[in-house]
C-alpha cells in the first residue's frame, strides 16, 4: 500500500473516530475558560479591542488517535477548519502540568485554530527557549515561559513564521503538540 493511501485511510479513521461522541459545536470545557479569558485579553491588546474569538469547540479527548507516523506523544491537536474549529487536549497530560504550561499548550492550539498560524517552527533563541510557542514540542518550562511571556504573546499575535507543517522530530521531551 502506498504511503499516501495509508495516510488517507488513517485520516478517514480519525474523522470516524471523532464522530463517535461529537461534542456540541462551540462547547468549551470549563477547565479551559480562564485561559480563554486570558487569551481574549491578550488578543484585544494586539488585534484591537473589538477582537472576538471565532466559534470553537475545545474538549478533552483521546489525542493519541491523531498520532500519525510522528515520534512523541501527542498532547493537543487542532482542526482549523473554519466552519468547525476544534481543539482536543489530552486530559492525563493536562492534569500533570503547571498553569503556565497549560497556557502554552492551549495558546499554541488556539493560534493554529484561530490565528491562521498553521505552521510550526523549530528555531531556537537558546537551548531551552524556542523562538515561538509554535514549536512542535512543549520544550520550554512553565517558569521560563512565564518570565518571557510578553515576548511570546507578542510573537504569537503579531508574527506568522514557520515552515514545518504538522511535522515533528524527536526531542529530549516527547510531548508533541500538533
Ligand atoms: Zn502545533
pLDDT number for residue 22: 73
- Check: CB of residue 42 under 8 Å from CB of residue 157: yes
CA 168 to ligand 1 center in whole angstroms = 9
CA 130 to ligand 1 center in whole angstroms = 13
CA 33 to ligand 1 center in whole angstroms = 20
CA 17 to ligand 1 center in whole angstroms = 20
> Is position 15 within any domain?
no
Work out the pLDDT band at 155, boundaries 50, 70, 90: very high
Work out the pLDDT band at 4, boundaries 50, 70, 90: low
pLDDT number for residue 9: 47
> Is position 42 within any domain?
yes
Count of alpha carbons within 13 angstroms of residue 108, beta-carbon side: 31
Q: Which three cell numbers stand for residue 2?
A: 502506498
> Is position 173 within any domain?
yes
CA 164 to ligand 1 center in whole angstroms = 10
> Is position 9 within any domain?
no
> Is position 91 within any domain?
yes
Strands 124-126 and 129-130: antiparallel
Q: Over range 73-92, report the average pLDDT.
A: 86
CA 48 to ligand 1 center in whole angstroms = 25
> Is position 63 within any domain?
yes
* Count of domains forming the chain: 1
CA 109 to ligand 1 center in whole angstroms = 6
> Is position 7 within any domain?
no
Average pLDDT, the chain: 81
The string of pLDDT tens digits covering residues 24-79 is 899 999 999 999 999 999 999 999 999 999 999 999 988 766 655 455 678 888 88
Work out the pLDDT band at 160, boundaries 50, 70, 90: confident
Domain carrying residue 42: 25-177
> Is position 20 within any domain?
no
Work out the pLDDT band at 123, boundaries 50, 70, 90: very high
Amino acid at each position: 500500500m502506498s504511503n499516501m493511501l495509508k495516510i488517507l485511510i488513517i485520516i478517514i479513521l480519525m474523522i470516524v473516530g471523532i464522530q463517535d461522541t461529537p461534542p456540541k459545536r462551540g462547547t468549551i470545557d470549563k477547565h479551559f475558560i480562564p485561559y480563554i479569558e486570558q487569551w481574549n485579553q491578550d488578543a484585544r491588546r494586539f488585534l484591537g479591542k473589538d477582537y472576538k474569538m471565532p466559534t470553537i469547540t475545545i474538549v478533552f479527548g483521546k489525542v493519541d488517535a491523531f498520532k500519525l507516523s510522528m515520534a512523541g506523544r501527542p498532547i493537543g491537536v487542532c482542526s482549523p477548519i473554519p466552519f468547525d474549529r476544534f481543539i482536543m487536549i489530552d486530559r492525563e497530560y493536562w492534569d500533570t502540568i503547571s498553569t503556565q504550561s497549560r497556557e502554552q499548550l492551549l495558546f499554541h492550539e488556539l493560534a493554529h485554530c484561530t490565528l491562521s498560524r498553521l505552521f510550526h517552527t523549530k528555531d531556537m533563541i537558546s537551548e531551552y527557549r524556542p523562538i515561538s510557542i509554535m514549536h512542535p514540542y512543549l520544550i520550554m518550562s512553565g517558569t521560563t515561559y512565564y518570565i518571557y511571556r510578553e515576548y511570546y504573546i507578542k510573537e504569537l499575535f503579531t508574527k506568522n513564521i514557520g515552515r514545518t507543517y504538522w511535522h515533528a522530530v524527536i526531542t529530549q521531551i516527547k510531548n508533541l503538540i500538533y
